[in-house]
Amino acid sequence: MIYFRKSQWCDGALGIAYMSKCGRPAGIAFNNKTGELYVADAPLGLHVIPSGGGYAKKIADRVDGKPFLFLDGLDVDPTTGVVYFTSFSSKFSPG
């Protein structure tokens, strides 16, 4: 799904009111082999931006039916390409 964000909502002036729509990238990692950029977005989940740019594509926002609440850390194994990420909380969401 592609989100079209309105700048007047997502410029930060409204605080966290629109965070669930605008997002809050909290971690990034680059895959040197593929050129992809991975983004851990606190309220919106794990995204990947393709090599050469373009729109971010959501690749995960939940596991076993439970949504990620506050993604914050991210790394890509340079040998295997496996993406590792962490969540700050399983109880509280950022917005």
pLDDT at position 88, please?
Answer: 75
| pLDDT for 57 | 93
pLDDT, residue 42, reads: 81
- Render each residue's pLDDT in the chain as its tens digit; 95 residues: 445 555 666 666 666 665 666 677 889 999 999 999 999 988 888 999 999 989 899 999 998 998 887 888 899 998 999 999 888 766 655 55
Global pTM? 0.75
Q: Say how far apart CA 40 and CA 36 lie, in whole Å.
A: 13
Distance (Å, whole) CA 34 – CA 23: 25
Residue ranges covered by each domain of the chain: 23-87
Residue 69 contacts residue 92 (beta carbons within 8 Å): yes
